[in-house]
Structure 1
């Protein structure tokens, strides 16, 4: 399926991503259970049933249109006007970035539980990711250095603002439907022209409700407000985190091995362009591109410096330092869910355990903390992935070893079941 970014972001909010019925969930449960049975492993997890043997939901794993989702987005929206008013001190940026990053990976990971289809990153694509990122980064650097008169800012600003607006809209749709159920009534179906989008040669149809329209208007409002003089930096950050949650919902690394290869490659990419590029090109390529005014948009988290006179008036955290680790964290949450998808003798088990996910989140906080300490001690920009990747990979591996599930972790495939009925 080929869609422009903005249309792809909007279309996910217009069509339901949660399970549409007990039969489909039962097929999914059976499919996942088969994957574990082939390895001689059985797990149990809490669930409810319709009385006919069809599993309707895994208790404790729901996210869309729940009070948990509403509370998460409520906290984010409250932070937009409140954070700029808080007093700032030396560690304000570190606390803010850590809190917002945790919110992003938590929400993005849980949104990924409900998706029916996703774009899978293959092992080869994981290997190629650092190379492609390097080409893109160096290409932008060359444009900035050798073609300073080229106006990139306008085009990039418009594109990122559109992406941010649709991402905000997509994130706010479900909370609006939960708060105001009537906004989900009277849906309107819109046929997208075949020249604009198609799904394997078939026309694409969007289902739009009043909640979708209100959320889109809110997203456009946030994007417009972020471009006004004196606008709070939190508007930019709101769009940025919504973009990452969309990425975590729409993209999956597929397996732990793919995630490990991709993250290790991105670690070397980050280290080279932050530490090594100045020795080769006479300039820190990563910092030059990241701090360029041409990239004025939701591609990074920003926080004003607490000091009046500093070389860089803002502290920044690139979205790649959230999105790349977030893909592994989201995979660990889906792995936890898969471990809970099997049932043994129809017993009533205990509540689900999100062991791998929880440990990954703790490891992510540890990695960010090490990054902040290294930045404070050295006084120079730090490649965050240098600290995040070892923490995350070691956390997953050590957790698997402690539970004697290492073979299961390395052989796990994040796959959706086929549409036809699966038989045990």
Structure 2
């Protein structure tokens, strides 16, 4: 793990705990938490091989429609069924997901203190009576799952905002680390579609805000405020993960060219400006804002201007991560040439 990422991890942990001991301005907390989460997720996504889950153009175009269907379904569930019943089912679902995400986030730090065999040797476990179903895991993953399980038990019992945020950060970091847009074209399609999606569901219907307030699960970050009428400010994980995977792609594009983080700095700066703009407008109008309305133009705009300025528009648009060679493949080709 790079030193900058380690520092960001420490800062992120400290920022999560800070409101427990000092008075942290919720607006500043939103900006710093969102930006540090994106930063950590981006650097964790830089690996010898590209992320395994790559989004196609077709998936990117369908994503806003699928997201709309899921959002509307949740709205109807909360409207016609008991909120306690729906949230109880969702708690069970996110309990399992939370263990996996929390363990995966801790794993790189834990692996350094465990035997190498524990990190590499796979254990295959078959379901009783369903032998065709199997799980592959390492002993290191089991060790990492222990604190993950304990933490999720605390979350399920207390539903404390800090537990919610830690799980939300784990989901966000894993999403940015594991997902790939494949190309900037796909990224532009996805962000443009969700730009419209966010505006429609926040400004033209009560659905988004209603679901966000009713949904008692770590799909949003909560920031304590001094306002008794509005005890928490909220930021949806989608406002972190979706632009975050675009920023991560910019970082991996820089790495593939063997250069410093040029376009990553542009994309990350655009993200920070977008989040700050959201906070300013939200406080000005005292109303919920679709964060992607401000984040998407800022991220794409900063990268586009930088790209045009450098004359790199063609290589950037032609970049396809699925065709990028892994470090192992490059090393194998170089060894063949030497032979």
TM over 0.5: yes
For residues 241 and 270 of structure 2, what CA distance do their matches in structure 1 show? 15
- Aligned counterpart, 1:252: 180
The yes-or-no answer on 1:87 pairing with 2:23 is yes
1:298-357, CA deviations, whole angstroms, 9 ceiling, x for partnerless residues?
Answer: 1100012212x31x32110000000110011000001111111xxxxxxxxxxx410100
Of 274, 279, 289 in structure 1, the residue corresponding to residue 202 of structure 2 is 274
Of 118, 125, 128 in structure 1, the residue corresponding to residue 59 of structure 2 is 125
For residues 163 and 115 of structure 1, what CA distance do their matches in structure 2 show? 26
TM-score, length of structure 1 as denominator length: 0.72
For residues 364 and 196 of structure 1, what CA distance do their matches in structure 2 show? 47
Judged with a 3 Å threshold, the aligned counterparts in structure 2 of structure 1 residues 400 and 80 are, in CA distance, closer, same or farther, namely closer
- Aligned counterpart, 2:143: 214
TM-score, length of structure 2 as denominator length: 0.88
Say if 2:38 and 2:240, in contact at 8 Å, map to a contact too: yes
- Aligned counterpart, 1:99: 32
For residues 231 and 294 of structure 2, what CA distance do their matches in structure 1 show? 25
Say if 1:161 and 1:297, in contact at 8 Å, map to a contact too: no
Aligned to 1:306, the other structure's residue is in SS state coil
- Aligned counterpart, 2:85: 151
- Aligned counterpart, 1:383: 290
Aligned positions, number = 327
Aligned to 2:85, the other structure's residue is in SS state coil
User: Offset of 1:192 from its aligned partner?
Assistant: 3.5
Judged with a 3 Å threshold, the aligned counterparts in structure 2 of structure 1 residues 273 and 230 are, in CA distance, closer, same or farther, namely closer
Say if 2:8 and 2:39, in contact at 8 Å, map to a contact too: no
- Aligned counterpart, 1:405: 312
Judged with a 3 Å threshold, the aligned counterparts in structure 2 of structure 1 residues 254 and 207 are, in CA distance, closer, same or farther, namely same
1:14-413 aligned at under 5 Å gives the runs 63=1, 66-88=2-24, 92-114=25-47, 116=49, 117-148=51-82, 151-178=85-112, 180=113, 182-186=114-118, 189-193=122-126, 205-209=136-140, 212-229=141-158, 231=160, 233-277=161-205, 284-292=206-214, 295-307=215-227, 309-310=228-229, 312-340=230-258, 352-413=259-320
Say if 1:109 and 1:330, in contact at 8 Å, map to a contact too: yes
For residues 54 and 218 of structure 2, what CA distance do their matches in structure 1 show? 24
1:222-243, CA deviations, whole angstroms, 9 ceiling, x for partnerless residues?
Answer: 2222234484x22211111111
1:107-157, CA deviations, whole angstroms, 9 ceiling, x for partnerless residues?
Answer: 111111116351110001101111110010011111111233781111101
Say if 2:118 and 2:138, in contact at 8 Å, map to a contact too: no
